[in-house]
Structure 1
Amino acid sequence: MPGDRRMRRAIGAISGTSMDAIDVALVETDGLAALRPLGGGAFPYPAALKTALIALVADPARAEHDPLAEIEAAVTDAFADAIRAFLAGAGIAPDDVDLVGLHGQTILHRPERRFTRQLGDGARLAAALGIDTVDRFRHADVAAGGQGAPLVPLYHAALAAGLDKPLMVLNLGGVANVTYLGAEGTILAFDTGPASALIDDAMRRHFGRAYDSGGAVAASGRIDGQRLAMLMADPFFAVPPPKSLDRNHFHARAAALAPLSPADQVATLAAFTIESVRAALDHVPAPPARWLVAGGGRHNATLMHGLATALGVPVEPVERVGWNGDLLEAECFGYLAMRAARGLPLSLPGTTGVPAPMPGGRLHRARR
């Protein structure tokens, strides 16, 4: 397959740091510029498994050192069920899919120690589905000294080939990341700070809800400027990119919001996301004239309005240019699976800080 440039069908599957669902998407691509998204969907984790994963992410020592064979098998089986459900709903036979890109579930990301861990067993998934599967997308990059994230920039660049530049693509998942696409082909990418993870945690803790629907709770609260400044004093923001974050990086600082009312906590955390995104402008060659926003955070009106005010340029959901903001990351891992199978780079020095363009992924052949 390395020298093959035919269009093939690949499924991408990922659950983000917010763990709200398993996202599955199908793309047809050659792993280069030829690209056609073919739909997808979101499939919730079984409730008990999600609870177990949340507890695991909150225990970094266990996430790093324990074998976790049982929970990894459960995660892999949940991904298999999600992919089967998507295929059945779309009327697609497994034999009509050439490849699966299994990102899996990140439970710990420590690139400064050259360590990253995603749950998801490609060999088990390939056997369950009868489809060749690529996993371990981040490991080669991290082992070579890269940040291992974000990995979406090459996909963003392929999608945005016909759009005016400079352009910023912002993903508001659990953690926020940006891709800067320059007018002369420059591609830069980095995590900017929190997106929805801290807000979601506060909503679960205080309101028993998974997220702040529409940003209504944030809009009802007051921003504590002093505590916001304390959050923005984190040394991460001064570090030049490429750089990436673990979901729990800001938890210790965010604990200082405890004296505030629940609504004021959520309002201050939303302002933290907005201000940390604005700080990303300190690290790009020229301010973009437009921001396109993907991820669940684009449905949060308080975040979107605040970003437009802070950035002073159009801030629009990616649907404005015909992309599917709920499926971009899943589509990306279908695209990257094809690149991995063909020996093409998944990351660049400007996207993860890896010393040279870096191939990656581990291919597991299915027995059909």
Structure 2
Amino acid sequence: MKSRHDMIERYIGLMSGTSLDGVDAVLLEMDAQGKPQVVEDSFLPFPAGVREQVLQLQAIGHNELDLAARLANTLARIYADVVAQLLGKAALPAAAIRAIGCHGQTIRHAPHAAYTLQIGNHALLAELTGIDVIGDFRSRDVAAGGHGAPLVPAFHQDVFASDTENRVILNIGGISNLTRLHRSLPVIGFDCGPGNMLLDAWCQRHTGKPYDANGDWAASGRLHQSLLQQMMADDYFQLAPPKSTGRDLFDLNWLEQQLAAWPALDAADVQHTLLQLTAHSIAGEVRRHCPQTQSMHVCGGGAHNAALMQALQQQLPDIRICSTAELGLPVHQVEAAAFAWLAWRFCHRLPANLPEVTGAAGLRVLGALYPA
């Protein structure tokens, strides 16, 4: 008879998101009942120049095919390095891992044109690690008429749903997205709008720092109400879910168009107003689509932004706002753990999308196998 230890399967999840700061890796154990448990995590920042290469490919330009192929190889080597780092921390050999779930790096997200593109040479990653790689999670959902995003709500439902409380799980990465986990309503999830993306870009431009630690710079500025109202009038914020977005819309060009009427606006005031844009867009979606929410559990890098968390609480005073750590997963583990879980779903040929979230025609097995 097999022991419980023998029935455990181990998966590694890799996530490099729209914040473009690096790669999160999580080692997930799945027992015979499909219960997940994170046993180790690791993070590897992007080397100098990688962020700029990704940004270059997110706009139409010259020589895209060659640049994308070279960057995919670079990313595969970074992914392999963080896998080795994670295995070293866990004191496990590659043979102990059933598969790697690799999200890849989003270059373009265009569900309106029936495609979404994440790069990262999965064949090379399998070659470098000696571990099966599951990648390309979004394409099958898009092929079935969905947005291919967000994919994490199915994981949120599996690990965070409650029989006693109406919850929202909020991820604030480059883009903010939420999952509604209510006792009497179906699960829905969608992108609210920019999370850290515009905040980080504006901070980099004016301070030289990659992000505004704790939101201190934003807190030093003042709200420009007319600018906030103009930004909130963007068509995206008026759309009903299912919906998804990314840097294809909310980039510095978008911001510069918004600022055209106020060329002399103080940079700190812009930062403060951008922080309020993130808070207002999230709060508006919660009020519209998540009535009677009792708690909101936040994950992603934005959870560390104290000024943003304060702004959210001011917008949603009747909701208890805390981190996902209260539910057993620290804020930096959630998305990478979701892609390890998605790899487990693929290996067992279980559907992993939620059609009510993505808009797909039905349940689908997500991913493609690159065997070691």
Specify the TM-score bucket, using the shorter chain as the normaliser.
Answer: over 0.9
The residue aligned with 1:262 is 267
C-alpha distance after superposition, 1:217-236 (max 9, x if no partner): 11000110001001000111
Of 39-48 and 170-179, deviating more is 39-48
Q: Quote the residue 1:170 is aligned against.
A: 170
Q: Given the superposition, is the C-alpha separation of residues 259 and 107 from structure 1 closer, same or farther in structure 2, using an over 3 Å criterion?
A: farther
Indicate yes or no: 2:48 matched with 1:47.
yes
Conserved? CA contact 2:10–2:29, under 8 Å: yes
Partner SS, residue 47 of structure 1: coil
* Distance in 2, Cα, partners of 1:260 & 1:159: 44
User: Could you say what secondary structure the match of 2:245 adopts?
Assistant: coil
Relative to structure 1, the CA distance from residue 212 to residue 89 in structure 2 (aligned partners, 3 Å threshold; closer, same or farther) is same
Alignment of 1:221-232 (within 5 A): 221-232=221-232
- Alignment deviations for residues 295-316 of structure 1 (CA, whole Å, 9 cap, x no partner): 0101111100010110111111
CA distance in 2, matches of 1:174, 1:32: 34
2:322 aligned with 1:316:
yes
- Where structure 2 has 5 or more consecutive residues not aligned to the other structure, the ranges are 1-6
- Which of 152-161 and 98-107 deviates more? 152-161
- The equivalent position to 1:278 in structure 2, one of 276, 283, 289, is 283
The one-character-per-residue Cα deviations of 1:178-223 (angstroms, maximum 9, x if unpaired) are 0001204721000001100000000110000000000101100011
Show CA shifts across 1:283-335 (max 9, x none).
Answer: 42523111000001011111000101101111111112221110110011000
Q: What residue is the counterpart of 1:325 in the other structure?
A: 331
Count of matched residue pairs: 361
Structure-2 residue corresponding to 1:9: 10
1:31–1:335 contact (8 Å) kept in structure 2: no
Cα offset, 1:56, TM superposition:
2.4
Separation in 2 of the partners of 1:326 and 1:29?
Answer: 19
The TM-score normalised by the length of structure 1 is 0.93
Alignment of 1:280-359 (within 5 A): 280-284=285-289, 286-312=291-317, 313-359=319-365
State the AA in 1 paired with 2:356: G
SS of 2:46's equivalent in the other structure is coil
- 3-state SS in 1 of match to 2:192: strand
Partner of 1:245: 245
Moved over 4 A (4+): 30-33, 61-67
- What SS does the aligned partner of 1:293 have? strand
Give the 3-state SS of the residue equivalent to 1:126 in structure 2.
helix
How far apart, CA to CA, are the structure 1 residues paired with 2:64 and 2:181? Answer: 34
Aligned AA for 2:320?
P
| TM-score, length-scaled by structure 2 | 0.92
RMSD (Å), alpha carbons: 2.0
* TM-superposed deviation, 1:65: 6.0
Q: Compare 21-30 and 213-222 and name the one that shifted more.
A: 21-30
Partner of 1:93: 93
**Separation in structure 2 between the aligned mates of residue 63 and residue 250 of structure 1, nearest angstrom:** 24
Conserved 8 A contact 1:20-1:44: yes
Deviation digits for residues 318-365 of structure 1 (CA, Å, limit 9, x no counterpart): 112221110110011000011012221121112111111121100111
Please tell me whether the aligned partners of residues 31 and 336 of structure 1 are also in contact (alpha carbons under 8 angstroms).
no
Displacement, 1:8? 0.9
Flag the 1:144–1:160 CA change in 2: closer, same or farther, 3 A. Answer: same
Residue matched to 1:3: none
